[in-house]
């Protein structure tokens, strides 16, 4: 398996522009997570899906952020309009949710810079 695949790896955009980040989870995993990582705040959970259904989006900072998972093999995180404070590394992770430890496999991340 190729692991969790994220695109783009780097995105530089101007304030006010729409940004779309994409994620392909590991085949067979039933949970998908979007995290944001900054030096100040570390890894923050934005939203997670279970069987393609959003379960908890309480970490989404504001209405400018939205996430979708139209099928088991694809998810998007959209920021519209983007602001400089959104600059961070965004990680997608997937897991097979079951009893026992919820072991997450992370993608390589999408580094976003909003000018």
Partner 1 sequence: QKEVEQDPGPLSVPEGAIVSLNCTYSNSAFQYFMWYRQYSRKGPELLMYTYSSGNKEDGRFTAQVDKSSKYISLFIRDSQPSDSATYLCAMTISGYSTLTFGKGTMLLVSP
- β strands within the chain, DSSP E: 5-7, 10-13, 19-24, 31-38, 42-50, 53-56, 65-71, 74-79, 88-95, 105-106, 110-114
Window 65-104: contact mask with partner 1 (x via CB under 8 A): --------------------------x-x---xxxxxxxx
**CB 47 to partner 1: min, Å:** 10
**CB 107 to partner 1: min, Å:** 5
Q: In this complex, which beta carbon is closest to partner 1, that of residue 17 or of residue 102?
A: 102
């Amino acid at each position: 398996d190729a692991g969790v695949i994220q695109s783009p790896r780097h995105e530089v955009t101007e304030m006010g522009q729409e940004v779309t980040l994409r994620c392909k989870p590991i085949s067979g995993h039933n949970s998908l997570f979007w995290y944001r990582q900054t030096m100040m705040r570390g890894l923050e959970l934005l939203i997670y899906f279970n069987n393609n259904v959003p379960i908890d989006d309480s970490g989404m900072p504001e209405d400018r952020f939205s996430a979708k998972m139209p099928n088991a093999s694809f998810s998007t995180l959209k920021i519209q309009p983007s602001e400089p404070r959104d600059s961070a590394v965004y990680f997608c992770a997937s897991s097979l949710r079951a009893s026992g430890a919820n072991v997450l496999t992370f993608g390589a991340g999408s580094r976003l810079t909003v000018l």
